[in-house]
Structure 1
């Protein structure tokens, strides 16, 4: 390790002295790379091609950069000489200690086989040839080549992994921490990948697949839970597939880590090229002031050299100003504030530190950073999960005018209908393309399946007709020639495969015993977490066993608080909540994954929390929610988000509830699972209360709509969720 020569702190200090104005992220990036790569002495370009450009981009002086790179190179050379003594103690060295007989080698070079056909030198010469190669030198050469190749691979992997793991400004940039996107204008930015495979945890996700993303199109990626949609997005974002390097990629899948950075600044800092230009502007202005001061005090440089330095600084500053103008840097703050406002951040929250926001709001911040940054390829994984209906409406309208390429995984059909121009359907380790939005995809897919089924049935009939002719006339002398011809036709027919039929998913909740009214009532209830401000005031609610209620409203209005009051997790400060003495609730939280022990299997988790049943009974219960086969015996941590949701639903069923209280139940579910949940709730004989932003789901399940906003909860007098969305748009909520 280089750390044996210098500590990371010492290397950081050296880099900081060389480039005083560099961002901490860049310095950490350089030092981390140097620290993790122990021997670069044989890789002559490692310092020149990797470290030096970063130092130059960070604003270092050429002489200082030369000195620092020379020092790093000499340290690596010294470390290489120290470690090379121990190289060769592995299996390769043991093999090379023996004489090498060319007759036993199948044309093997230092890097592998020369060709597919082996050359038998013994047969050619008639005698055995003992290699005169110095095994020690060969061993060292082999080790150097292997180390060089490993370093080149590690350099790319390190760049991607460090930027993915960084939980600050570079949190969401998989590669290219600073990319001059003004220089990529006019370049082809279509993504075309052919014949690639993707595997995850030993499971094949895609096989010999093709992916084409035309620049400026908006693609919806759909498919069943666990099929590997999120894995495909991560593979693209980490550039494990051969995406052109001039195409910037940004993947939003997890919330940003909170710190003391203000929300508005967190969004602005997402555009690292703008941040880099502003830092350069600051550095060059400071340099010009310093030179002016030196001119007044009598600089020791020659007049010619001084004027050259001054002209270069002014030219560099002019170029920086030109690029800032090209990216409209002066409008950046207004654009960032507009995006934050659209995602529900009121102006008074724009300057709050990011650590003051909950996980859901930090997820919105991550989304805001992505939208502000405008990457060439934006990857979104279930972006509506943490949004309320007003924010979903705003996001739909914003993405309709998205100028670059968008690839979004979503279960929300209405959202995909509004946003998508194309649909990618992932199934059976393949990707199928459909033009149009989700509704058009659903129609076209059904028509394709019918056509494939007709073709299959026609082929079956044709084969049966041929076989019948052959069976009848094969041994007839007059028809034998015709029968032989039919046999040849039958043999040449392609292998017949029936069209893929997806297994239907069914959910089923157990029906509870009937309870007499009153079941559940809230009378003039008021609640607040502190005495200064109430979240809910004067709430009246009466629910029966056949109630189907949807609660909607902006985030932070008190929807989740109301559910806790219903279930008794919170008690009102004023008013009365009456619950039937035998009333049982089952609560599905939008953070249900936190309630699962991911280190256990689904069966183990159920047995631990609801003991008294056999393994077969637990597996049967899981099977009622689509967790079949060996999936119930897998560790919960290995399941997809949708599969974890199904486990949570199966646990609700074990509680045999009279009322199902569901907070964002469609998050992470695929569309077939949403349909299965819709059907199960329609057949359930108990009461249902849901908080959701999914328009189609609300329309299919609920017959009452309650709006929670401004501290009140009132029944919506309009005609369902569609009219409520129009109301939201008209009010600008």
Structure 2
């Protein structure tokens, strides 16, 4: 069992965690949820041993192996290859195997197995043997290859220097190392941030098969739903424990809060009634005894705090989309390549007015490339792209620097997208995206990833687009903001094509799927969940006839 007992943590003299107590059983999987700044990462760092409590205890059994994945890591400028970096996990195996051979030689020279020396050697031998088994030292190469492939690395990348990988791929390498240590307790801080859908699903299956206990922080609702046995909710430095996955937590939390609000409101009415009596008769001598009695009554009441409200989140809806031609975008025989190897070839695709399409595929399959071609920002090496009459496109990119000037303030950036709007209207709009007061004067260059995403979404409201191409729009958004964006896109009456690794998001806002795989494009009718179930039942990545009705390219109608 792993536990916190009456644990307090302060930062700058202010309590971040207030005497919390909770435990994680062996093999149990738990998610920590709560608003930004609630102490989720602080809780992980306590269990990881990176942070000591000011008061209370962190209870970890002796010889527990803990694996901690932070949100960010730096491998420096060393020359280690990916293979060498990941293989370093198994250095204890090589050392243990060498020591086991030495211990075997020593034990062979001791005749009396009842001596203290022999028992001490045998105990050490058993411990080392257990470590080699725990790390599956007999299958190092195959296990390492399986994990790296599952996280999206190609075999040719194994001998590439770590410094050449982007930060996201370096985090995948760190996650691979953690999984290969086979820890007793796995601490994961936003483990899916840098994963595509396929790698995320693979990670889920790995964790399910693992015997490790898991404590995680995540914004991925499907990830928490599929894995978690319990939820720890942090609010105002206190922890509330819910049994079940994230969906059950939401339902039970709403029920609890309704009960808590009724109790709080009833108490507030009682306090107000007593206070009115005191204020009315405070200076009447004939009522002095009664007034004193009511004052003592108020002093004895144990005041209830108002139940937590949902964290501050964005509030918006897209304006009505201008009517476009029936055929919005058409690709004929489109292919592209950055090197001699094509990303994809022979893509024939027509997007119709009102289509809501999920674009899926493994990392590097060409999703962003296809979206750039559809947007008109990238000219295909082969084939043609044609936009229908009255088609107005807004392209949300993974790197928001494409459309945000780093020297602008938040207010100036929005004004550049809506030059005819008054400053009051712009400030009001930004307030709906959680930019208030001095926030609107922040330079774009200092904004966090989530703030850039919110600003870019605000700018989209003034684009008059009737075709949205969204490349990972949920990155850096919290759960509540993702739900708001879902609701806005469900109401949006234009055409939509979206890339996202949030399965709930895809299922909520799209009704067709395009898959890029092995340089080819395959089409599926139905929601993303239907697409997954197609493969769960042995389906092949081929285009059903009924899907062709909306994908076969035709000359665009001019309207």
What TM-score do the two structures reach when normalised by structure 2? 0.78
Determine the C-alpha separation between the residues in 2 that align with 1:732 and 1:346.
23
- Secondary structure of the 1:519 match is strand
Conserved? CA contact 1:602–1:634, under 8 Å: yes
Query: 1:526: how far off?
Result: 1.9
Write the deviation string for residues 505-534 of structure 1: whole angstroms up to 9, x where unpaired.
Answer: 31333445433454321122122223x432
Write the deviation string for residues 291-341 of structure 1: whole angstroms up to 9, x where unpaired.
Answer: xxxxxxxxxxxxxxxxxxxxxxx99x9899757645442223322222223
- Secondary structure of the 2:89 match is coil
Determine the C-alpha separation between the residues in 2 that align with 1:490 and 1:228.
33
1:218 and 2:29 aligned: yes
1:208 and 2:5 aligned: no
Distance 1:211 1:600, change over 3 A: farther
Task: Figure out how many residues of one structure are paired with residues of the other and give that number.
Answer: 514
- Mapping of residues 237-256 of structure 1, within 5 Å: 237=48, 239-242=50-53, 243=58, 248-254=66-72
Conserved? CA contact 1:508–1:625, under 8 Å: no
1:726 and 2:533 aligned: yes
- Secondary structure of the 1:270 match is helix
Query: 1:672: how far off?
Result: 0.7
Query: 1:487: how far off?
Result: 4.2
Look up the match of 1:266.
Answer: 85
Higher relative contact order (CA 8 A, sep 6+): 2
Unaligned runs of at least 5 residues, structure 2: 106-120, 542-559
Conserved? CA contact 1:226–1:639, under 8 Å: no
Distance 1:641 1:197, change over 3 A: farther
Determine the C-alpha separation between the residues in 2 that align with 1:365 and 1:475.
74
Query: 1:420: how far off?
Result: 1.4
Query: 1:563: how far off?
Result: 0.5
Look up the match of 2:324.
Answer: 515
Determine the C-alpha separation between the residues in 2 that align with 1:624 and 1:461.
33
- Secondary structure of the 2:342 match is coil
Conserved? CA contact 2:409–2:440, under 8 Å: yes
- Secondary structure of the 1:407 match is strand
Conserved? CA contact 1:400–1:418, under 8 Å: no
- Secondary structure of the 1:677 match is helix
Query: 1:601: how far off?
Result: 4.7
Pairwise CA RMSD of aligned residues?
4.0
Determine the C-alpha separation between the residues in 2 that align with 1:595 and 1:204.
39
Distance 1:442 1:278, change over 3 A: same
Greater helix proportion = 1
Look up the match of 2:375.
Answer: 567
Determine the C-alpha separation between the residues in 1 that align with 2:401 and 2:94.
37
Determine the C-alpha separation between the residues in 2 that align with 1:193 and 1:638.
38
- Mapping of residues 314-325 of structure 1, within 5 Å: 322=129, 325=132
- Mapping of residues 273-312 of structure 1, within 5 Å: 273-274=92-93, 276-277=95-96
Query: 1:400: how far off?
Result: 2.2
Conserved? CA contact 2:96–2:132, under 8 Å: no
Write the deviation string for residues 388-407 of structure 1: whole angstroms up to 9, x where unpaired.
Answer: 33322221122124433322
Query: 1:455: how far off?
Result: 0.8
- Mapping of residues 559-638 of structure 1, within 5 Å: 559-580=367-388, 583-592=391-400, 601-603=409-411, 605-606=413-414, 616-634=424-442
What TM-score do the two structures reach when normalised by structure 1? 0.61
Determine the C-alpha separation between the residues in 2 that align with 1:238 and 1:259.
26
Determine the C-alpha separation between the residues in 1 that align with 2:370 and 2:270.
64
Return the index of the structure with the highest Cα Rg: 1
